[in-house]
Chains A and B, each alone.
Chain A
C-alpha cells in the first residue's frame, strides 16, 4: 500500500486539499478523511506533511504494478 492508514483524524481537510493526485476525500458521514483512490498515490508525502496531528501513515510500496524503463 502507498498511503496506508489514517487514524486520529480531526477532520481539517488539509490532506484532501494538499494531495496533488486527489487520493483522499472527506467522509461526510464521519467527518474524517478517508483513502479513496490509493492506486493514484504517487507516494510524495505532502498529505502527511500537511496533517496537523500526524494521522497519516504511508509505506513506500505502490498498490499497482510499477512500470520502469529497465530492470
Chain B
C-alpha cells in the first residue's frame, strides 16, 4: 500500500478507508441508483416574505424563553421551528431541570462555579456557569406557573405563555440559510415541509435556538437535529466552537436503534427539579474501556466505580481526584433525577444495567460546549445581529464534560431569556426597516431547491450511511489518534467536495434530508480537524497518541470559521478571553 506516488495525506486516506469500508460492509444498500424523478417541481414554489423585530429559530427550551422575553421587552417576535414547539429537538426528552435555590443550596454560588471549573479542568466559561446558578430558579418558577411540571408532554405548557402573548409561531419549516446584508445578519430563509413554499424572514435580530445535532445516530433522540444553526452561521462567517468534545452516552446492545427503550421509557415521566451535585461524567470512559478490553461492556449506576472503567486504573481519560467516587453520591434530599429514576418500574437513563454499545449520540458534543462563539454574556455571536442560546451557543457553561445534572435544560432556559431580552432591546434601537437584495433572495432560493433539480447524484440516506460508517467507529470519533483521523478526514472531504454538491431530493422530506446531510458532513470535518489540532486529552476529548493534559499549550478552546475563500480555519481561543466582534 505504500505506493511512493501517494502523498502522506492520500496514503492515510487509503489506510483509514479500510476501516471505513469494513464498517460499511455491515450496511446494505439495496436500492439501485435511478435518475432523480422528483414528485414535485422546483419551479412553482410560492415565495413569502415576513418581517419582524426578533426572529427566534427553534422551539425548544431556549427558543421558548427567547421568544417570551423578547416579546416582554417590547419586540415583535416570530418563532419558527422545523418541528413542533416542545416536541422537537432534545427538549421533549429532558426530565430533570436544575434549580439553584439560594435559600436551600448546599454551597454558595462562588463555590458552585469553582467546583464546576475543577471538574471541567477549567474548560468551562465561569461567566456562563455563574449565570446558570443565578437565574435558574426564576426560570423554573416561570415554568411551574405555565404547568410545565404537570405533564410529561411539553407542547401545551410551552404554548401557554406564547398564546397569552399572541406570539406568532411557524412550525414545520426547515430553515436553511441566514440572510446577511452589509455585514449584519438580517433574517433567515427556509421552506415548508407541507407545501411548496419558501419563506424569507426579515428581522432586526435573529436568535439561533436550533439546539445541537448528531450524525442521525442510534438510541438517542437527536435524529432531527444536524447542527443546522451552527452550519448556517458558519457559512455566513460566524465563529463556532467545541467540535472536539464528545457526548459519551452509551446505548443498549439490545435494540440499539430504539431511543425509547435505551432510555427505559423516561419520556413518559413528568419533569422534576435537580439540586447541586457536581460530577465529572458521561465522557468517554466507557469508550476507552471498550477499546482496550473489547465488548461486552457493562455499566453500573452513575457514580458507581464501574462507570470509570475501574479495571483500567490509572489509564484512559483523566478524572480529577475529587470526582472519582468510590461509592454512589448520596441521593438528593427530595425529588431530583435520582429520585425520579428510583421510581416504581423506572430504571433510568442508558447505562443503568445491561450490556452497552457506544455511539448512541455520535456527532453531538457535551451540551453547551459546542455552537456559536459568544462575544459576551448575552450570547451575541461574532456577527452583528446574530445571537444564539442553549445548545446552539458554545457557552461552555458546563465545560468539556457534564458537571451538573439538569443544567443543560436549565441553561437553555436561562440563556434563551437573556438573549431574548438583549436582542429585543437592540432591535428596538434600530430605526428603519430591514432590506435584503433581490440577488441574495434569488441565490438563497436556488441553493435551497437545488437537490430537487438534479437529475443525477447521491441520495442523502446513502451519504449519511457512509458518513456514519466512517465517523461512528469507536477508534475514529472517541478513542482518537492522528492516523485514523487523517484517514477519516480524507473520506469526509471527499463527501463534502464531491458528494454534497450532488445530493438529490424528490420531495420535501428528502429536501430536508439533503440539507441535513450537508450539515452533518461539514460537522464531521470540523470534528476531525478540531480533534487533530487539540494535541492533548482533557474531559471528553481523548487521544491515545497524546493522552495527557497539556496545561502549557492548551488552556484554550478552538474556534472554527470560514474565510473569504471558503476555507475552514481554526484558531485557539484562550480560556480567559472573549473573541473579537466582527466589524460590520
Residues of A at the B interface (CB closer than 8 Å) are 2, 17-22, 36-37, 39-40, 42-46, 49-50, 58, 60-62, 64-71
Contacts and interface: CB of A to CB of B under 8 A. Distances in A.
Nearest to A43: B258
B92 to A, nearest CB: 6
Contacts of A49: 152-153, 267-268
B26 A70 contact: no
A20 B89 contact: yes
Interface in B454-500: 461, 465, 468-469, 472-474, 477-478
Contact of A69 (B27, B155, B257, B473): B473
Contacts of B290: 69-70
A68 B359 contact: yes
A34 B153 CA distance: 22
Contact of A65 (B26, B153, B224, B360): B26
Interface in B210-252: 216-219, 221-224, 251
B218 A20 contact: no
Contacts of A69: 287, 290, 357-359, 362, 472-474, 477-478
Interface string B121-137: 00000000000000000
A70 B290 CA distance: 8
A21 B512 CA distance: 10
A68 B256 CA distance: 8
Contacts of B258: 2, 43, 60-62
Contacts of A21: 223-224
Contacts of B468: 67
B472 A67 contact: yes
Contact of B509 (A36, A45, A66): A36
B84 interface: yes
20 contacts: A2-B258, A17-B171, A18-B87, A19-B83, A20-B89, A20-B223, A21-B224, A40-B216, A42-B259, A44-B92, A45-B267, A49-B268, A60-B260, A64-B461, A66-B257, A67-B468, A67-B469, A68-B219, A69-B287, A69-B474
Interface string B109-151: 0000000000000000000000000000000000000000000
A46 B87 contact: yes
B295 interface: yes
A60 B262 CA distance: 10
Say what secondary structure dominates the interface of chain A. Answer: loop
B324 interface: no
Contact of A66 (B218, B224, B287): B218
A23 to B, nearest CB: 9
**Across the A-B interface, the 9 shortest Cβ-Cβ residue pairs:** A69-B358, A69-B359, A62-B257, A20-B224, A60-B255, A60-B258, A42-B223, A43-B258, A69-B474
Contact of B360 (A37, A46, A68): A68
Nearest to A61: B255
Nearest to B476: A69
Given A20-B223, A62-B218, A68 B358 contact: yes
A22 B87 CA distance: 12
B184 to A, nearest CB: 32
Contacts of A66: 218, 256-257
Interface in B348-363: 357-360, 362
Contact of A45 (B217, B260, B474): B260
Contacts of A17: 84, 87, 171-172
B541 to A, nearest CB: 16
B349 to A, nearest CB: 14
B257 A61 contact: yes
B248 to A, nearest CB: 10
A17 B570 CA distance: 39
Contacts of A18: 84, 87, 155
B153 A43 contact: no
A61 B261 CA distance: 10
B267 A20 contact: no
Contacts of A61: 255, 257-258
